[in-house]
């Protein structure tokens, strides 16, 4: 009779996993003075948001400026944008795993960590919009009614949480294997990476269906909404990652980021033009055909009956997106000495997309209302505080995740 024993140089997972978690916690909390200053700022902003959210829960949604006519505001606008940001992380996965881009493969975990932070923010914005978080029990099978597969909202809950779990597994496994000093087994992560590509597209498609499936909101009733969501996601996601990699190159010792930056810049060159083309196509359809359903578009771009609350927002978004597109088309943008200009173009594309998919898409869907009333909406100070707090928390999650992954990124550069 023979007995099998584990090799002496391979510690058991029960012993090594707690050490991995402790090492990750240490890496996430130690750093330079600049790191502590950044985290202190984010913590302060998060606490301001948490206090505002507590006041909202105690006092009710009357503290917001949402009304019966405009029932979705700044929270759902940010939720929509963050879903796109999470999906945009897949633009690093596709070149790495489908086109076997070696340099992109070494840093692909940045996109997956961004997806995790963005999905966490999505869930927080939904909780903020609920007003009373205890109302979640209405969706819990057994206690409430999940309404699957009839309700698009239940589809959204499934795909968002599924995408979060997929990315947690992929990142956790890769970091754990690096901690053990072993080569990751492709069986345990490559199938999940391939699934995450499809899943990333599905999360934003389902979100688009959530809007364009509402028959009483003609501004959203367009078959172009889902592909437009994806095109803008593939602008905002890569733009954020480019800025992140430029900062990492400047602040950390991670090398080998120039080629991934160039690849993502080339991707944005195409996607930003596709996004602008879709916006132009929507505008032609709305204004050339005319009719009663063009009222929301008129309100958004030119104002309606003296109401012009969203006009500055939408023209700012168009100006930023067009300027960013012109900069991305300039071949000299990738020169190392012009990194500041590349970052500027990314920031303009990011902010322009945030306005376009947020205030420029969600709010005009409610104006005019189904009774043809024009009730304008502008976020209250409480909504801005909660929003800033959630953004601060999301950036904290992303910063900590990147800090934890830094040894892996440096090791990949040395291999």
pLDDT in tens, 244-277: 999 999 998 788 889 999 999 999 999 999 999 9
Show Cβ contacts of residue 364 under 8 Å, excluding neighbours closer than 6 positions.
Answer: 219, 296, 297, 299, 300, 310
The pTM score is 0.91
- Provide mean pLDDT across the span 376-399: 97
2 lies in a domain?
no
Structure-token match 């700044």, residue found: 74
Q: pLDDT at residue 33 above 90? A: yes
DSSP per residue over 288-299, as a string?
Answer: HH-SGGGHHHHH
Intra-chain end-to-end CA distance of the chain, in Å: 43
Least confident of 8-17, 190-199, 235-244, 343-352: 8-17
23 lies in a domain?
no
240 lies in a domain?
yes
pLDDT bucket at 75, cuts 50 / 70 / 90: very high
Q: Is the pLDDT higher at 145 or at 309?
A: 309
Q: 198: exposed, middle or buried (C-beta count within 10 Å: 0-12, 13-18, 19+)? A: exposed
Q: pLDDT at residue 6 above 70? A: no
CB 385 within 8 A of CB 47: no
5 lies in a domain?
no
Domain span holding position 288 = 66-409
Joined tokens for residue 237: 């996601």
**pLDDT tens digits for range 97-145:** 878 887 787 788 899 999 999 999 999 999 999 888 888 888 787 788 8
CB 403 within 8 A of CB 396: no
Q: What is the pLDDT of residue 220?
A: 92
Q: What is the pLDDT of residue 3?
A: 40
pLDDT bucket at 414, cuts 50 / 70 / 90: low
pLDDT bucket at 5, cuts 50 / 70 / 90: very low
30 lies in a domain?
no
Roughly what angle, to the nearest 10 degrees, separates helices 152-180 and 381-414?
A: 40
Joined tokens for residue 412: 């990949």
The three-state secondary structure class of 141 is strand
Joined tokens for residue 21: 């978690």
Q: Is the pLDDT higher at 53 or at 147?
A: 53
- Provide mean pLDDT across the span 338-364: 94
60 lies in a domain?
no
Q: pLDDT at residue 281 above 60? A: yes
Q: Average pLDDT over the chain, rounded to whole?
A: 89
- Provide mean pLDDT across the span 184-211: 90
Please state, in angstroms and rounded to a whole number, the distance separating the CA atoms of residues 70 and 65. 9
pLDDT above 70: percentage of residues in the chain: 96
Q: What is the pLDDT of residue 397?
A: 96
Helix, strand, coil in percent for the chain, rounding step 5: 75, 0, 25
CB 234 within 8 A of CB 93: no
pLDDT bucket at 8, cuts 50 / 70 / 90: very low
22 lies in a domain?
no
Q: Is the pLDDT higher at 256 or at 311?
A: 311
CATH of the domain at 225: 1.20.1630.10
Q: What is the pLDDT of residue 413?
A: 59
Q: pLDDT at residue 390 above 70? A: yes
Q: What is the pLDDT of residue 117?
A: 95
414 lies in a domain?
no
- Phi first, then psi, for residue 169 (nearest 5°) are -65, -45
What is the total count of domains within the chain?
1
pLDDT above 90: percentage of residues in the chain: 58
Q: pLDDT at residue 388 above 50? A: yes
- Phi first, then psi, for residue 11 (nearest 5°) are -65, 155
Closest CA to 154 of 166, 164, 144: 144
């Amino acid at each position: 009779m023979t007995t099998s024993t584990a090799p002496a140089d391979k510690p058991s997972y029960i012993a090594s996993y707690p050490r991995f978690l402790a090492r990750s916690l240490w890496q996430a909390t130690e750093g330079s003075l600049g790191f502590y200053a950044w985290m202190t700022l984010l913590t302060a902003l998060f606490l301001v948001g948490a206090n505002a959210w507590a006041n909202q829960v105690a006092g009710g949604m009357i503290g917001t400026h949402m009304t019966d006519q405009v029932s979705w505001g700044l929270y759902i606008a940010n939720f929509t944008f963050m879903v796109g940001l999470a999906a945009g992380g897949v633009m690093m996965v596709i070149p790495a795993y489908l086109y076997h881009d070696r340099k992109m493969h070494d840093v692909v975990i940045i996109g997956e960590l961004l997806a995790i932070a963005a999905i966490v923010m999505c869930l927080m914005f939904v909780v903020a919009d609920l007003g009373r978080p205890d109302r979640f029990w209405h969706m819990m099978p057994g206690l409430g009614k999940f309404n699957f597969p009839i309700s698009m909202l239940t589809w959204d809950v499934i795909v968002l949480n599924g995408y979060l779990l997929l990315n947690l597994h992929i990142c956790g496994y890769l970091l754990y294997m690096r901690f053990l000093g072993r080569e990751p087994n492709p069986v345990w992560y490559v199938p999940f990476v391939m699934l995450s590509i499809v899943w990333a597209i599905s999360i934003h498609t389902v979100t688009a269906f959530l809007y364009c499936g509402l028959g009483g909101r003609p501004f959203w009733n367009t078959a172009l909404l889902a592909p437009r969501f994806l095109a803008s996601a593939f602008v905002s996601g890569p733009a954020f990652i480019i800025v992140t990699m430029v900062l990492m190159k400047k602040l950390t010792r991670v090398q080998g980021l120039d080629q991934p930056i160039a690849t993502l810049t080339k991707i944005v060159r195409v996607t930003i033009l596709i996004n602008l083309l879709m916006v132009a196509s929507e505008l032609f359809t709305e204004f050339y055909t005319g009719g009663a359903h063009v009222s929301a578009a008129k309100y958004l771009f030119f104002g309606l009956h003296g109401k012009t609350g969203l006009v500055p927002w939408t023209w700012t978004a168009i100006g930023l997106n067009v300027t960013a597109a012109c900069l991305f088309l300039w071949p000299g943008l990738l020169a190392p000495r012009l990194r500041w200009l590349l970052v500027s173009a990314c920031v303009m594309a990011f902010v322009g997309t945030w306005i376009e998919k947020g205030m420029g898409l969600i709010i005009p869907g409610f104006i005019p209302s189904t009774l043809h009333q024009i009730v304008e909406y502008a976020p209250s100070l409480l909504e801005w505080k909660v929003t800033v707090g959630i953004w601060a928390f999301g950036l904290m999650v992303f910063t900590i995740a990147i800090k934890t992954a830094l040894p892996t990124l440096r090791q990949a550069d040395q291999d």
